[in-house]
């Protein structure tokens, strides 16, 4: 059986395969997979297309795109004026005075001048300059300067509200605990998170054990105690797949009563957890691990900066910090150094890449772009979480090989070839003459650490990596140089971790030798990998828009920059201390007859030459805030 449906494109992966949603009220939330086909029209995320869907025994076996369909897209606007009959709105990011009108008598919502809203055209107007539209949604609490997450929510079809049935279910959650749990409330357990964190997944404790050994306890919020499998709450969390963290706004996977309260390991609050006790020898080698249900009470909430300051003062006694707490932090640091050495020796990738952070004023308006610093306190938690995740993978594998693994495959040969062509001497010879491992990449990073090419080499090695994803078959984690790896430590914000928690609980309580495979793990892993990609795209695009907005006030200012990518049509440049990225089209380069070398990625003219890693002086020519693009002008070589 073959049927014709309209589809909305939700996701396109790196191989050109697409995921789409059927636009039909009777087939609510049904998604289809569309394999890449050269004959398909060129499509983008958010496009509406007509399709032919082939069924066999009520299962979709093939989907073919016929053509793109014009559909009036929603747009964002700001309320400009309110009269007795109409609400006058101005379309955002329009070069013209693009006004629309909403009939006031059709809506009961409380609308004020200055509000941001989403609307769509109802029909083409007969009266000049009088275009009516349909109100879709009002965004209270947002203004022109801080509503950029809403663009991505609209464009990528992201769910950002909870259905009534989910909220009702949360309100009825039984918070009593009848489980047999280990009482850890007497331990100096702490949390370490960012300044603005609200959902505290993990708490940690370390003490000396039997002389020269170490006992680590990592306690993770027991989300599976509250979110029962196949409940409305669970089904909705699975659909979301993960929380999305915008610079100024969070879309949680779970309602706030859970994510920011019951499941958040707040200071001095009794919380239910799933813990793992890990014993290390004096060199940091794992001797054993044991999972168990627990109850904790975090004695102190530390920020990364708090812990970093303690490290700098060599854990000097502090009146505001209890001696037992201070000892725990000191022990954490001692164990971290051993784990870090183990990571380095096994070949875990040591790329020096920092994230971009947007700073806001008290009113929520973006002020500046900042590169976040990787503190040692970040690495303490990172190493402990990696260890706990590895233990979880090993525990699950005792009972089943079919698990939601976090895999990161070895770089593909074509990417390594591209890296060899671009990285330059002597590193190209190292890559040609040796087996590609994390240790080899780390050797190149270390050798280049004091050279002018350091940032370029980090960027090129990062570009060569495969994309990490979830898969039900264990393919190892190249980046961490681990054979077994799952995500266990963040069930508040990742559905994969919730699955892992349920399986570990099943092992603990039911003591089954084989885990029941009552879910299609392959399908779920594909889905949560897709929602993760969508979150990354949404977060990156939002940061790009905020960045463009900030630099729109810096037109014609000059900045030092470095070429990070060369294309036949121009140069991509990191500028302003590598905080931001912009593009110089070939037309803005010095006039010359350029030839593009695709293998080695350089542009060469008779008088000018441009390659990756080359420093330039650039200026801001234009910014496109809606697209999050910065157009740079070439000033001179440096």
pLDDT > 90? residue 410: yes
* Cα–Cα dist 285/546, whole Å: 45
User: Which pLDDT band holds residue 175 (cuts at 50, 70, 90)?
Assistant: confident
Mean pLDDT of 354-378: 90
pTM of the model: 0.85
Question: Strand 286-297 relative to strand 182-183: parallel, antiparallel, unpaired?
Answer: parallel
Encode pLDDT of 545-573 as tens digits: 999 999 998 988 999 999 999 999 999 99
**Which H/E stretch holds residue 213?**
strand 213-221
Residue 545 or 96, more confident? 545
pLDDT > 80? residue 496: yes
Mean pLDDT of 96-103: 83
Q: What is the pLDDT of residue 129?
A: 63
CA of 525: how far to CAs of 227, 428, 461, 479, in Å?
19, 36, 26, 19
Encode pLDDT of 458-489 as tens digits: 889 999 999 999 999 999 999 999 999 999 99
Question: Strand 300-303 relative to strand 190-193: parallel, antiparallel, unpaired?
Answer: parallel
* Domain range annotation of the chain: 2-68, 76-144, 164-405+474-540, 410-465, 552-637
pLDDT > 80? residue 271: yes
Alpha-carbon Rg for the chain, nearest whole angstrom, is 27
* CATH fold for the domain made of 2-68: OB fold (Dihydrolipoamide Acetyltransferase, E2P) (2.40.50)
pLDDT > 60? residue 345: yes
CA of 335: how far to CAs of 285, 373, 376, 393, 447, in Å?
11, 22, 12, 21, 27
- Token look-up 């079809």 returns 157
Residue 180 or 307, more confident? 307
Q: What is the pLDDT of residue 41?
A: 84
User: Which pLDDT band holds residue 609 (cuts at 50, 70, 90)?
Assistant: very high
Residue 198 or 493, more confident? 493
pLDDT > 90? residue 521: yes
Q: Which two tokens stand for residue 449?
A: 């650490």
Q: Which two tokens stand for residue 459?
A: 């960027």
Q: What is the pLDDT of residue 20?
A: 87
**Which H/E stretch holds residue 533?**
helix 521-551
pLDDT > 80? residue 6: yes
Mean pLDDT of 354-364: 88
pLDDT > 80? residue 96: no
Q: What is the pLDDT of residue 71?
A: 65
User: Which pLDDT band holds residue 586 (cuts at 50, 70, 90)?
Assistant: very high
Q: Strands, E, within 281-399: which ranges?
A: 286-297, 300-303, 356-360, 366-371
pLDDT > 70? residue 258: yes
Mean pLDDT of 104-128: 75
User: Which pLDDT band holds residue 128 (cuts at 50, 70, 90)?
Assistant: low
134 closest CA partner among 77, 52, 51, 94: 77
pLDDT > 70? residue 95: no
User: Which pLDDT band holds residue 21 (cuts at 50, 70, 90)?
Assistant: confident
Q: What is the pLDDT of residue 68?
A: 85
* CATH fold for the domain made of 552-637: OB fold (Dihydrolipoamide Acetyltransferase, E2P) (2.40.50)
Mean pLDDT of 523-530: 95
Q: What is the pLDDT of residue 513?
A: 56
CATH homologous superfamily of 76-144: Nucleic acid-binding proteins (2.40.50.140)
Mean pLDDT of 166-170: 94
Share of the chain above pLDDT 70, in %: 96
* Fold agreement between 76-144 and 552-637: yes
Question: Strand 286-297 relative to strand 602-604: parallel, antiparallel, unpaired?
Answer: unpaired
- Token look-up 């004695």 returns 299
Q: Which two tokens stand for residue 118?
A: 């989403």
Question: Of 69-83, 217-231, 549-563, which gets the smallest average pLDDT?
Answer: 69-83
Q: What is the pLDDT of residue 512?
A: 61
Residue 416 or 94, more confident? 416
User: Which pLDDT band holds residue 516 (cuts at 50, 70, 90)?
Assistant: low
């Amino acid at each position: 059986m073959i049927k014709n449906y309209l589809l909305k494109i939700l996701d396109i992966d790196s191989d050109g395969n697409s995921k789409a949603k059927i636009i039909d009220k009777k087939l609510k939330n049904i998604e289809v997979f569309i394999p890449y086909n050269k004959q398909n029209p060129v499509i983008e995320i958010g496009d509406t297309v007509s399709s032919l869907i082939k069924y066999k025994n009520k299962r979709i076996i093939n989907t073919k795109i016929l053509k793109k369909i014009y559909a009036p897209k929603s747009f964002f606007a700001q309320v400009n004026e309110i009269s007795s009959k109409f609400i006058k709105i101005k379309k955002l990011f329009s070069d013209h005075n693009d006004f629309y009108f909403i009939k006031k008598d059709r809506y009961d919502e409380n609308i004020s001048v200055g509000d941001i809203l989403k609307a769509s055209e109802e029909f083409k107007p007969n009266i000049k300059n009088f275009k009516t539209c349909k109100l879709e949604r009002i965004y209270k609490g947002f203004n022109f300067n801080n509503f950029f997450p809403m663009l991505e929510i609209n464009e990528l079809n992201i769910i950002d509200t909870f259905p009534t049935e989910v909220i009702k279910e949360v309100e009825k959650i039984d918070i009593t605990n009848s489980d047999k749990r280990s009482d850890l409330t007497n331990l100096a357990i702490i949390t370490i998170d960012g300044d603005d964190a609200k959902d505290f997944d993990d708490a940690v404790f370390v003490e000396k054990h039997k002389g020269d050994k170490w006992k680590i306890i990592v306690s993770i919020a027991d989300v599976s105690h509250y979110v029962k499998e196949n409940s409305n709450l669970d089904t909705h969390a699975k659909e979301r797949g993960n929380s999305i963290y915008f610079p100024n706004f969070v879309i949680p996977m779970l309602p706030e009563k859970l994510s920011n309260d019951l499941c958040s390991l707040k200071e001095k609050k009794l919380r239910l957890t799933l813990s793992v006790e890990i014993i290390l020898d004096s060199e940091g080698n794992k001797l054993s691990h044991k999972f168990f249900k627990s109850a904790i009470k975090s004695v102190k909430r530390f920020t990364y900066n708090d812990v970093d300051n303690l490290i700098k003062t060599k854990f000097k006694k502090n009146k505001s910090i209890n001696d037992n707490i201070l000892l725990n932090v000191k022990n954490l640091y001692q164990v971290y150094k051993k784990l870090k050495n183990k990571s380095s020796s096994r070949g875990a990738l040591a790329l020096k890449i920092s994230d971009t952070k947007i700073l806001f004023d008290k009113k929520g308006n973006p002020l500046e772009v900042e590169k976040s610093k990787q503190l040692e306190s970040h690495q303490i938690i990172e190493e402990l979480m990696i260890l706990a995740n590895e233990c979880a993978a090993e525990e699950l594998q005792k009972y089943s090989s079919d698990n939601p693994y976090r895999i990161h495959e070895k770089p593909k040969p074509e990417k390594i070839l591209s890296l060899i062509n671009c990285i330059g001497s002597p590193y190209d010879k190292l890559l040609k003459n040796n087996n590609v491992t994390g240790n080899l990449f780390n050797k190149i990073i270390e050798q280049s650490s004091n050279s002018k090419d350091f940032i370029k080499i980090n960027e090129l090695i990062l570009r060569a990596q495969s994309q990490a994803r979830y898969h039900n078959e264990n393919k190892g984690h190249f980046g961490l140089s681990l054979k077994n790896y799952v995500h266990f430590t963040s069930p508040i914000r990742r559905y994969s971790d919730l699955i892992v928690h349920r399986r570990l609980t099943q092992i603990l309580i039911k003591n089954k030798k084989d885990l029941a495979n009552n879910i299609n793990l392959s399908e779920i892993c594909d889905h949560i990998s897709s929602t993760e990609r969508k979150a990354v795209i949404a977060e990156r695009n939002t940061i790009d828009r905020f960045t463009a907005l900030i630099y729109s006030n810096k037109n014609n200012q000059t900045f030092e920059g470095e070429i990070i990518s060369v294309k036949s049509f121009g140069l991509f440049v990191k500028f302003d201390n590598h905080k931001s990225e912009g593009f110089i089209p070939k037309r803005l380069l010095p006039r010359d007859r350029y030839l593009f070398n695709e293998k080695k990625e350089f542009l060469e003219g008779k008088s000018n030459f441009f390659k990756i890693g080359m420093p330039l002086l650039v200026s801001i020519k234009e910014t496109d805030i809606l697209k999050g693009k910065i157009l740079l002008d070439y000033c001179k070589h440096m």
